[in-house]
Structure 1
């Protein structure tokens, strides 16, 4: 498969399809694939899956001119990869292609004659292009410079692309031409290195040598005037690493200095101004290891640095942090002493989690220490469910009143930036930032933050999403990415993190694709080696297995369930139908609209594995019997897709980044919350925020009403008995109850209807249950978790939980048994759910049971999971490894036994 395919490419249909329909960004510019606008806005039209059926291969390159240099501030220094950005709204030329340099500054435009040839090829997704300015003499016309435009396409498209280039008067220099050796592309330069220039891998290996020379992790104690809890040893080491990263003064990765000139070895960009160090990184400790407490300890130093004297002429930020913190709060084994810090004893008590009504209106959580003059404010961005985690951690681990916190959330939040800067911590959500991205008066955008922390940062894995663009545009001195699962699906997840951290030039998509993604896709072992070096440079990762945190053991058991005769018959009928749909999709290189039909087929197969009651009684109503067709002229097909998709908690509305409420599907086959899409259409031009398809309210189709416990019927099932899986689950739960009646269990499912279907048989068996799903508000979820904490026999012993809604930000250590009712495409989501139970605070052995329907699509999903786990684990290892291809079209054939 191609390394530059859109998120709706086929491998993602199998591999991570629940995330796909929602990767649009709503940007106005249409960007050529392989390019990037402003470091984040890479266009990704969900309707473009033209790469299905083959990898993007280098056809060759053409030499064109960049013109209009006199009108723009961007400059080119030596050999440099440039971004080619389509500008279809250009009033002078609808075929216009802008040229941006490595700093995202515009250099000029591709000359008009060449743009006229390239624009249709780019717009139709037949090609992706990379522009490279070779190191050439500047003599001649100083208002234009030559540029090599490297062209990538599928083999099937080679002839049509060659014909278009030839008819447009462009000379394609291909591999069989002697001039091909003049190519400056990384894919070519890696093979032919001339003169004194360093190969790409040599540059990465030099970076690796710097990493190996760094000292081993030390330990550091937080100031006890703020942090009252004793940190575990791995948390002290993590704190030491965080402080070291923030106090860095060395050059960023890939930058070198020679004779007072600073240059980037990967781009050859040079400047006489020293580039700023990257003060931050990726804090990727395993889930449940106490990252929040470690981060609060880091923030607590901001309350103490001001006691260190300031010498005239010094960089006060760097010096205070380095001298005032590193010298004052070192590990117990150090000979350095602890500097005492004055603190006011008249502190106001932090309010309890149960009295948070004012916080939700944007009022402060607690008051600052009297007399403190610190203005170092940390912005913490997280999902709403994580608010309670931060508040709880503040209450449990910090001294009352020592940190002043503001919840920038709710309708009554302040519009005054000065109010925010008077606090030590400002908590907000990704959705709030996305909503305020277009607001010029947003106080969040007016502040240069001392530190920005992205909690659960894998949320920004899609660089095209609006919330990703919003966090990338934040102004900050220190930037932290915090996630226990930095890779959820694919190496492109990490690219989004690089854009936030400003790791040049890998924060630019052309460089990431050229140097990292394409080698991985082509199976080049150097791709994984480069990624390993990059992660060793930028991240800290410890796992529970390698960290002595005293956690009880965790065991994982897979139980295979045989479907009943009736279930097997219905499953095989559905699988036969689904195969024909998938085959048509593969053969016709289907669009987003047919893609959603494939999704609904896969959802139905998975639902049958859990309970056939979730399918309509007449299977002919499940999927269309004719060709997939265009959903725009087939509203009934839209209804059928929604019936299958709305119950799956794997989907998020791309606007609010939450499971959709009052689900709506558009005529262009994108799914939103009703209120989200209506608001969006009111505030922007009438088009889909995902694909720019013209859109009005008449193009919106509404899902059937959501099921309730009373409305769930037996559907296809001929008897009222529970499904085979539900029966197996009941036996397991009864066996646990017989051993210990007080044992609490969490049953995770991706389907809300399945949670409803389980309630009746569990109640009949004498179990007290609670349910937690994505349709509940944050307050309702908090009440459920509180209720689940009541000890048995008075309290419930079973929590029926949505996998996505319960996968992050909650603590379920009161349970010791976990049941995964069906497998999920993304193993990281499952791991997050497991670690709600197996985390610091757990006192019992944790047993996890994964339930798999034998000889079904669920077994094949496990195969995809293993591929993802292998890749995610290897990027943190220092080993070369082969066979690193991303999931390909073959995986879809594997899933469907084609």
Structure 2
């Protein structure tokens, strides 16, 4: 006689038995499911079969997992690596485990884990006071951010403050540095362009700290040897990479990485040097924790919260690859994992009083000569790429760079090209109209050649302007920023990368982008030099786009890039590395 297949009874979230213990350097996580007739499904069985709804018990016996239960097992499995005695997870996973256990019937944490949880709860209830003699008046959300960082530091975790550009991440970090200054020396690593800003802001708001600049000048070895409590060492990412061995010897109480997307590539010297540092608390400051790819988060958190996202292979299997396939659950699991360690507030959420920001795209029609030059260059680019398939990607990127310059002005590639200058002329016309109405403007471009063309156009029109690019020394950079803020010049001409971070340029109420960058986050950072705390006037942003060129296609990419950052931090995710077909489409 045929045996009847048993109709499985569905198991719910409340049936899951979770145990959390404390190992030497890890947490031991075990979960099991008690089924009919005393049969117990082990964590390994649950993990191995979690892809489907049914788990096999015997020849004719199955147990059905509810969708909620299956997702919880999946989330637990992503916290570490499976061993014979259960899952081993980093101690930083404790807040995540508490959240995952919150709605279970009877989760069991051993005495040590329970003690640490009680410590976390006590910290959460602690009222955090502003540091003594700290002179900045913190807004409510800034006090919340400072308190959040303090609690994570006291708990022994790292943190990423990912507030929108212009919300005062520096002053929040300075409050924390002042609070922890008695514990030992601190380190701030930042782009060269904002080194002086950190020194001046420290002197202005945190007089109990002693800021020290580690630069190419002076006796660096002697400076590092004499560091003690209340000293704040400030250096660039370049100095960090060059002095990594000496810096790794210093037991810092706190290490802050400003514009921390500089650490998004784990293979760079700066990222390796950052990982080698000794620090009681590590803090990343960045308005753009994800610029292009999800794995940038892995590199960043490997520095500030080691162990949180597992190995590179584990991260790719659990999160990056599924997110690239558009799987909602993977993005949700990643958000849940990051939630205790990343704080992000947008301007819309916290700054009701910030003036409006309007964005306008100005479409510039090239002259007949410019169109002919661009089209000939485009066709030649396609021929060059097709002629050498083995070096296709390298060739594509090189040819795209040429087309982007030609879209601004053919003279960037060929000094003898027929004078067109349609885009420069459109920019100048806009600047003159703004000046006549009493407005002041920031002009951003990524090409030094186009800076030279704009400079000549401004000089010919007798328009006062200041300039700043990557070659501008830090002290001179600070002088020019102060001059513009003091009312000197109607226009500030800046290279996108050098002028796009760490400066307050609220003296301008118009921002003009001469050419589009691949990633809108970089442009937004530049725009936020003007649209930030301290701005009292509405800010208008103009993007000049050459009609019929690669610039129109780059603009279309912007929306996709914005979606990536929003999806990982706020919702569904997708991986945005361009493949060869997408790159070729830019040349079409």
Instruction: Tell me which interval the TM-score lies in, with the shorter structure as reference length.
Output: 0.7 to 0.9
Change (3 A) 1:449 1:858: same
| Superposed CA offset, 1:211-241 (max 9, x none) | 8979999996644632122211110111121
Is 1:732–2:430 an aligned residue pair? yes
1:839/1:218 Cα in 2 relative to 1: closer, same or farther (>3 Å)? farther
* Deviations 1:89-108 (CA, angstroms, capped at 9, x unpaired): xxxxxxxxxxxxxx9xxxxx
Superposition deviation, residue 789 in structure 1: 3.0
1:71 matched to which residue of 2? none
* Structure 2: distance between partners of 1:836 and 1:492: 28
**Corresponding pairs, count:** 500
Measured in 2, the distance between the counterparts of 1:212 and 1:835 equals 41
**Is 1:598 aligned to 2:396, yes or no?**
yes
- Deviation, 1:382, is 1.1
2:178 paired with 1:380: no
Contact 1:222 1:301 in 2 (8 A): no
- For 2:527 and 2:376, locate their aligned partners in 1 and report how far apart those are by CA, in whole Å: 34
The structure-2 alpha-carbon separation of the partners of 1:221 and 1:826, relative to structure 1 and needing over 3 Å to count, comes to: same
Distance in 1 between the 2:331 and 2:581 partners?
Answer: 22
Matched, 1:237 2:144: yes
The Cα of 1:202 is off from its aligned counterpart by 4.9
Quick check: 1:716 aligned with 2:417? yes
Are 2:131 and 2:178, in contact at CA under 8 Å, matched by a contact in 1? no
Contact 2:187 2:254 in 1 (8 A): yes
Deviations 1:783-818 (A, max 9, x none): 332332342xxx310111100110112221111111
**Aligned-partner SS, 2:497:** coil
Alpha-carbon offset, residue 539 of structure 1: 0.1
Equivalence map 1:123-142=2 (5 Å): none
* Residues 1:867 and 2:560 aligned together: yes
Distance 1:786 1:609, change over 3 A: same
Could you tell me which of 890, 895, 898 is aligned with 2:581? 890
Residues of 1 paired with 2:188 and 2:176: CA distance? 13
Q: Equivalents in 1 of 2:417, 2:100: separation in Å?
A: 60
Query: What is the distance in 2 between the residues matched to 1:751 and 1:187?
Result: 53
SS for the counterpart of 1:478 is strand
TM-score, length of structure 1 as denominator length: 0.52
| Alpha-carbon separation, structure 1, partners of 2:234 and 2:366 | 48
Structure 2 residue 337 is matched with structure 1 residue 448: no
Change (3 A) 1:755 1:187: farther
CA contact (8 A) 1:505 1:511 kept: no
Does residue 457 of structure 2 align to residue 761 of structure 1? Answer: yes
Q: Is 1:806 aligned to residue 504 of structure 2?
A: no
Correspondence for 2:531: 838
- Decide which of 258, 282, 289 is 1:479's aligned counterpart: 282
> Residues 855 and 789 of structure 1: is their aligned pair in 2 closer, same or farther, counting only changes over 3 Å?
same
Please state if 1:393 is matched with 2:201.
Answer: yes
* CA 755–426 in structure 1, closer or farther in 2 if over 3 Å, else same: same
Cα pair 1:520 1:886 within 8 Å, conserved: no
Query: Structure 1 residue 431 and structure 2 residue 129: aligned?
Result: no
Alpha-carbon shift at residue 837 of structure 1 (Å): 1.1
CA distance in 2 between counterparts of 1:420 and 1:223 reads 25
In 1, Cα distance between equivalents of 2:568 and 2:238: 30
Whether the 8 Å CA contact 1:772–1:781 is kept in 2: the answer is yes
Q: How far off its partner does 1:516 sit?
A: 1.2
Q: Give how far 1:737 is off.
A: 2.0
TM-score normalized by structure 2? 0.78
Give 1:370-769 correspondences, 5 Å limit.
374-399=182-207, 402-416=208-222, 417-437=224-244, 439=245, 442=246, 444-504=247-307, 506-548=309-351, 550-583=353-386, 588-590=389-391, 595-616=393-414, 713=415, 715-717=416-418, 719=419, 723-740=421-438, 743-769=439-465
Q: 1:288 to 1:480 in 2, by over 3 A?
A: same
For residues 195 and 175 of structure 2, what CA distance do their matches in structure 1 show? 17
CA contact (8 A) 1:378 1:451 kept: yes
Task: State the alpha-carbon separation in 2 of the partners of residues 883 and 506 from structure 1.
Answer: 18
Separation in structure 1 between the aligned mates of residue 302 and residue 460 of structure 2, nearest angstrom: 53
Superposed CA deviations along residues 270-311 of structure 1, whole A, max 9, x for unmatched, are xxxxxxx5x2211101111111111111122235xxxxxxxx
Contact 2:193 2:474 in 1 (8 A): yes
Are the counterparts in 2 of residues 747 and 821 from structure 1 also a CA contact under 8 Å?
Answer: yes
Deviations 1:468-491 (A, max 9, x none): 000101112211111111111111
Choose which of 274, 288, 292 in structure 1 pairs with 2:166: 288
The answer for unaligned runs of 5 or more in structure 1 is 1-102, 104-182, 249-276, 304-373, 617-712
Task: From the two aligned structures, give the one with the greater helix fraction.
Answer: 2
Quote how far apart the aligned CAs of 1:496 are. 0.5
Q: 1:588-616, CA deviations, whole angstroms, 9 ceiling, x for partnerless residues?
A: 352xxx64433331121111111111122
* Mapping 1:165-184, distance limit 5 Å: none
Which residue is equivalent to 2:111? Answer: none
Q: CA RMSD in A?
A: 3.1
Q: Is the 8 A contact 1:220 1:239 kept in 2?
A: no
In structure 1, what is the equivalent of residue 99 of structure 2? 210
Alpha-carbon contact 1:204-1:533 (below 8 Å) kept: no
The answer (yes or no) to whether the contact 1:208–1:533 under 8 Å persists in 2 is no
CA drift of 1:727 comes to 1.4
Q: Give the whole-Å Cα distance in 2 for the aligned partners of 1:292 and 1:800.
A: 25
2:159–2:341 Cα contact (<8 Å) kept: yes
Q: Which 5+ residue runs of structure 2 have no aligned equivalent? A: 1-24, 26-43, 58-69, 80-94, 103-119
1:300 aligned onto 2:103:
no
8 Å CA contact 1:750, 1:804 repeated in 2: yes
What displacement does 1:724 show?
1.0
Residue 493 of structure 2 aligns to a residue whose secondary structure is strand
SS in structure 2 opposite 1:760?
A: helix
